[in-house]
Amino acid sequence: MEFTHFNEQKRAKMVDVSHKDVSVRIARAYGEVKLSKDAYEAVKEGRVKKGDVLAVAQVGGIMGAKKTPYLIPMCHPLPVEGIDINFEMDDDRNVIKIFSETKVSSKTGIEMEAITAVSIAALTIYDMCKAIDRSIEINNIYLLHKEGGKSGTFDR
């Protein structure tokens, strides 16, 4: 496999996608935030002093996805057409599961936006809960699914 992010001088470049066809591209990502029992219960019961943790994390994740090309140097700016973030509470493990889905009609994929959405949502949860729990862990951030484009569908 040949890497396409280097020029003839072996220096980084943004990949030229001008020859590619526009197609609908969808990506889904996942991540987890593990909290102490006290912090987890505070989030679940709406007792965090900074406000509704999941509502703020959802907005933060959406904003993060839209800013991906400013955070990841070689990402193309994309006309993102849809971003959704959902949370599941895992009471047995004191874990908040984060799921994102991003959509675009473009010449290049939107995986990085999906992963960034999960990452920023997780960091937002950390920021809002750190006064209760400094031992918060952010774990298992990865791509679940991608479709569209020349390389086809990927499912973890």
pLDDT in tens, 14-61: 888 999 999 999 999 999 999 999 999 999 999 999 999 999 999 999
**pTM of the prediction?**
0.94
Query: What type of residue sits at position 99?
Result: F
78 vs 111: CA distance, rounded Å: 11
Confidence band for 1, pLDDT divided at 50, 70 and 90? low
**Mean pLDDT score, 47-76:** 96
Lateral strand order in the sheet of 137-147: 82-90, 95-106, 23-34, 137-147, 154-155
For residue 85, give the nearest of 110, 64, 109, 108 by alpha carbon. Answer: 64
Confidence band for 120, pLDDT divided at 50, 70 and 90? very high
**Which residues are CB-neighbours of 67 under 8 A, at least 6 positions away?**
116
Domains of the chain: 24-155 (3.30.70.640)
**Mean pLDDT score, 86-102:** 98
8 vs 78: CA distance, rounded Å: 26
Given this model, what pLDDT does residue 47 score?
96
Is 127 catalytic? The answer is yes
Query: What type of residue sits at position 156?
Result: R
Q: Are 129 and 38 in contact (CB under 8 A)?
A: no
Give the burial string for 27-36 (b: 16+ CB within 10 Å, else e). Answer: bbbbbbbbbe
Given this model, what pLDDT does residue 150 score?
85
Catalytic choice (38, 91, 92, 127): 127
Strands in the chain per DSSP E: 23-34, 82-90, 95-106, 137-147, 154-155
Confidence band for 2, pLDDT divided at 50, 70 and 90? low
